[in-house]
Amino acid sequence: MNSFPLSNSLSVSVHVYRALLVAYPKKFREHYETQMIQVFRDSFRYEYHRNGIFGVIDLWLHTFVDLLATALIERLMERSQYMFSPKVILWGGVSSIFAGLFYIISWLAPNGGSFVLAFVLAFVLSLAGLVSLYSRLATQGGRFVQAGFTLGIIGMGLELAALWWGSASGRLSNMNRDPTFGAPPVLILSLGVVILGVGIVLLGVTSLRGKALHRWRGWPLGLGLLNILGGMAFWLVYYLPMSQGRNLWHLWNLIGGYVIYPGRLVLPGLSVLLGLGWMGLGIMLATDGGAKVTQPSPASA
């Protein structure tokens, strides 16, 4: 089974692994590079003697995925040292309040361009709220909080990418004439909202378990669950019929003489609920921002 030389393959693998560790910040490497290389070397020998080349391939797959994820988290931590101050938390809370206002007024926009602009402003301002929440909880949950923050950033990135793609290509403005034309950005937008919700849920669980927040401790968890439900509803009401070529703006129902359209029900409802959720988070952070904030210590390997 072990048909290739151990010494040569181990030497090459260690050199490659050492080169990949450049993905981590310099300070992190100074603390943990020697130990990480030793663990990798021992794991390589173990997998080689136990499973041969297939064990080595499996080790590399797991090592590469873990390295990408943890290096990203450490880089975020390195870049975010400036975030841990009461002023940042306070202004992040204020931004979150304005984000909620833009969520609420977005469905009142008279055309597609104004709608997209309002949502972009809401996303950008809510990003400041996410940073503020992360800064407030960073000392409570270690990698659990870091994972939530990373997922939140990814989710918001997908949301902004979907809005840019849909507006730049005219996909969103052409939904009335050809629903399938706008389906891809709607799918990405729904996915982004769900991923953002999962990230906020992780932060919300930490908020409930820890003692960093003194008021409305369960609010972040509720906001995260609301985002998940909102993303799923957006996918169900918008993407599914659009992907099948059905026109969203056909009559859906007639209640009490009023014509009801699915989009005119779901979008305003989600916008208002999300707006209230982000406003509540902003009020919580702004009124709690004066509490002492301790900068997190470097994550262990």
Of 283, 278, 274, 295, the residue nearest 107 (C-alpha): 274
Q: What is the pLDDT of residue 5?
A: 60
pLDDT score, position 80: 56
User: What distance in Å separates the CA atoms of residue 134 and residue 156, rounded to the nearest whole number?
Assistant: 15
Query: pLDDT at position 112, please?
Result: 53
d(CA 243, CA 48): 48
Single out the residue of 272, 284, 273 nearest to residue 132, CA to CA.
284
Q: Which residue type, as a one-letter code, is found at position 263?
A: G
Is residue 221 pLDDT above 80, yes or no?
Answer: yes
Domain boundaries in the chain? 6-74, 80-288
Cα distance between residue 103 and residue 259, in whole Å: 24
Residue 253 is predicted with a pLDDT of 41
The reply to whether the predicted model has a pTM over 0.85 is no
User: Does the pLDDT of residue 210 top 80, yes or no?
Assistant: no
CA–CA dist 282, 122 (Å, integer): 13
pLDDT at 276 over 70: yes
pLDDT digits (tens, 9 = 90+) for 84-128: 567 778 888 899 999 998 888 876 655 555 666 777 888 888 988
Q: pLDDT value at position 104? A: 85
Torsion of CA 189, 193, 195, 198, to 10 degrees: -170
Enter the tokens of residue 166. 């849909």
Note the maximum CA span of the chain: 81
Instruction: Supply the pLDDT for residue 260.
Output: 43
pLDDT band, very low/low/confident/very high, at 167 (cuts 50, 70, 90): low
pLDDT, position 195: 94
pLDDT band of residue 228 (cuts 50, 70, 90) is very high
Tens-digit pLDDT profile for residues 172-194: 555 444 444 467 788 888 899 99
Please state, in angstroms and as integers, the Cα–Cα distance from residue 217 to each residue in 136, 139, 220, following that order: 12, 16, 7
Give alpha helix (H) positions in the chain.
6-20, 26-79, 86-106, 112-141, 143-168, 183-209, 219-234, 240-243, 262-288
Q: Could you report the per-residue pLDDT of 37-85, keeping only the tens digit for each?
A: 999 999 988 888 888 888 888 888 888 878 877 887 777 666 655 555 6
